[in-house]
Amino acid sequence: MSDVLTQLHEAICRHLNVIYDGIPLSTSYEELAHQLLAQMRLVNNAALTPPAPHTNLWSEQDVVLITYGDSIESNVHPPLSCLHHFLNDYCKDVINSVHLLPFFPYSSDDGFSVIDYSSVNESMGSWEHVEAIAQRYRLMADLVINHCSARSVWFENFIRGEHPGKDYFFTAEPTDDLSKVVRPRTSPLLRETITRDGVKHVWCTFSHDQVDFDFRNPDVLNTFVDIIRYYLDNGIRIFRLDAVAFLWKEIGTPCINQQQTHEVVKLLRTLLEHAQPDAMIITETNIPNRENLTYFGNANEAHAIYNFSLPPLLVNTLVTGDCRYLKSWMMSMPPAQHGTTYFNFIASHDGIGLRPAEGLLSDKELETLIATMQLFGGLVSMRTSSDNVQRPYEINISLFDALKGTIKGEDQLGMPRFLCAHTIMFGLEGIPGIYIHSLLGTRNDYERLENSGHNRAINRHRWQFETLTKHLQNSDSPHHQVLSEMLRLLSIRTQQPAFHPNATQFTLHLGTQLFGYWRQSIDRKQSIFCISNITDKSQLLSLADVNLIGTEEWVDLISSHAISLSLTQIELAPYQTMWLSNKIQRP
C-alpha cells in the first residue's frame, strides 16, 4: 500500500470512528474503510495523490442553471434532448454548468422520492442524454441521501425482511420522546408499516412516501458511496446532498445537524477529492443561517453551501424598498475560505424558504412579506415546530410574480425590479445559480398547481419547446426580454476578475434605499462597486460615499458609460444597478 493510500485509509477510519462511535458493527473500521476505498476504485490507483488544500474549483466564469430534466418538453424529442438544444441555442456562451434536478424514476415530490438511483426516468430520456449534457456543461445532480421512495425495491425488501433493504430504514416507537424533533412538514413523523416481522413505525421526515434511511447501518453508507462512483462514471461532477441536515437520527434529540451528519459529509468529501479532484459537494440545508454556515466545516466539509438566507432577504428588500435587513446580514457573513464558496440563488424549484430568515427578519417583517406574496398569487407551506405549532416554512411563488409590485401593491416596475434582484445576486461573493423559470421570466402556473394539489407546483411550469421558441424569437415577448437581459448581464459578469467567487467583498453604507457592496479581485487589480436603487423612486448616489480613486478611470459595466469624477452625484432610476469598475489592462 502506497504512503498516500495508507494515509487515506487512516483518514477514512478516523471518520468512521466518529460516525459509528458506540454502535456495534459486524466489521472493523479498517475493513469498512477498505470496502469504501475499493468501491471508489482507489485501492489499486498507482497515480493517487493527496488533494491540494484550499483549492478553488471555480472562477468568475462559473454560472449554474437550475432545471428539471423535463422543464422543456416536446412531442418530437425527449425532454433532456430539448433541454440540451435550449442550452446550446441560447446559453452555451454564458452558462457553463447545469444543476439537473432529480431525473430518476420517482413516485412523488417531482423526483425527490427516488425509486431507482441507477436509472434515468424514461419519460425524460436516458443516460446517453445526461452524458451528452455533461460533455458540454459541468453537471450537478442530486444525491437524495436522506430518504427514498416507499415504492423502491429497498423498501419492498424492508417489508419482506429481505436484503438489500432489510435494515436500511430508520424506525422508532410512537412512545419514544420525539418532542425535540425538527420537522419541515406537518404530516405525522412515523408511518405505520406492516412487515414480515410485525408492525414497524418508519421515520418519514418529509412525507409517508419518502422513507428515511438509517445510516447507523454501514451498508447504507456503502450503498451511497457506490452510487457516487456510478454518477462520476456518468459525467456528474457536482453532488448536491439533498436534505442532508436530517440524515442522522437519534431519539431524544432534534435529529438535525448531528455531529455524525457532518462527519458523513466530511468522509464523502475525503473520498471524492481523491477519486475525482475536480468534483464538488454542495449541501442543501434549508435551515437558519448560523446552522447552515457550519457545513463548511474547516474547509473540509462542503465545498459550497446554499446561501438560503439570500432569497427571503432580497425579496423583502425589493418589496419594502428598505435594505437594512439585507445589509445587516451581509455584514455578518464570514468570507468563505479558499476551497469553499457560497452558492447564491434567489429562486429554485422549491419556494422562498422562511426558516433561513429566522433571527434576520422580525416577525412583523415576515408577516408583511407573506401577505405581499399572497397578494401576488403566492401560497404558504407550513411546518410543525418542536412545540407542535404550525408555522410558515416557505412561500411558493414564481420570482417574476413575487417582484411584480411592492407592499403597496402591483405596479408597472416589475421587470426592472426583477432584473435588479439578479444584478445584486450576480455580483455577490459566491457562484450564481439561476432557476430556469427566472431565466425565462415564467409566471405562476395555476393549472399545474390545481392538477397536482401541491403548492410547489406553482413554480414548476413545463414549457412546450415549440411554444417557448416562439416566445424567445419575439422581441416583444417578456420572456425574450428577460432572457436577453439576463444573458447580457451574465456575459459581463463572467469577464470580471473581481466577481471571482472568493474575491474580497465589503458592504457599503449608503442608507436604506441604496444597497451596495465592493468587490476586489484576488490580485487586487480590479475593483467593482455594485450599487442598486432598491426603491420605486429615483435616488441620488453621492460619489463621495463611494470614494472612487481619482487616479483611475471608471466605467459602469452595465451601461458602458464612463464615470466622470467631476460629478458629485449620480441619479439612479428605480431599480437601476451600476457596476462601477476601474478600467483594467487585460492580457
What residues are labeled active site?
Answer: 242
Cell numbers at 203, concatenated = 421515520
Q: What is the side-by-side strand order in the sheet with 504-507? A: 504-507, 514-520, 527-533, 577-582, 554-556, 562-563
* Residue type, position 291, single letter: E
Q: Are strands 409-410 and 304-306 parallel, antiparallel or unpaired?
A: unpaired
Residue at grid coordinates 447580457 = 488
Cell numbers representing residue 559 in the block: 451601461
Q: How far apart are CA 398 and CA 512, in angstroms?
A: 26
Mapped onto helix, strand or coil, the DSSP state of residue 260 is helix
How many Å apart are CA 309 and CA 287, to the nearest integer?
A: 9
Per residue, the 3-state secondary structure of 384-428, as one string, reads ECCCCCEEEEEEECCHHHHCCEECCEECCCHHHHHHHHHHHHHHC
> Quick count: other Cβ atoms within 10 Å of Cβ 414?
19
C-alpha distances in angstroms, 559 versus 272, 492, 543, 556, 562? Answer: 43, 11, 17, 6, 9
What length is written for the chain? Answer: 587
Say if strands 390-396 and 352-353 run parallel, antiparallel, or are unpaired: antiparallel
Beta strands in 275-330 (DSSP E): 280-283, 304-306
Output the nine-digit C-alpha cell for 213.
434511511
> Cell numbers of 179, please?
418532542
Comparing CA positions, the residue from 469, 480, 473 lying closest to residue 439 is: 480
Give φ, ψ of 229 to 5 degrees.
-60, -40
Q: Are 5 and 50 in contact (CB under 8 A)?
A: no
Separation between Cα atoms, residue 195 and residue 207, nearest integer Å: 19
49 φ/ψ angles, rounded to the nearest 5 degrees = -130, 150
Give yes or no for a contact between 420 and 534, defined as CB atoms under 8 angstroms apart: yes
218-233 and 259-275 are packed helices; what angle lies between their axes, rounded to 10 degrees? Answer: 30
Q: Which of 193, 209, 116 is nearest to 160 (CA)?
A: 193
Identify whether the C-beta of residue 227 lies closer than 8 Å to the C-beta of residue 242: no
| N-term to C-term CA, the chain | 46
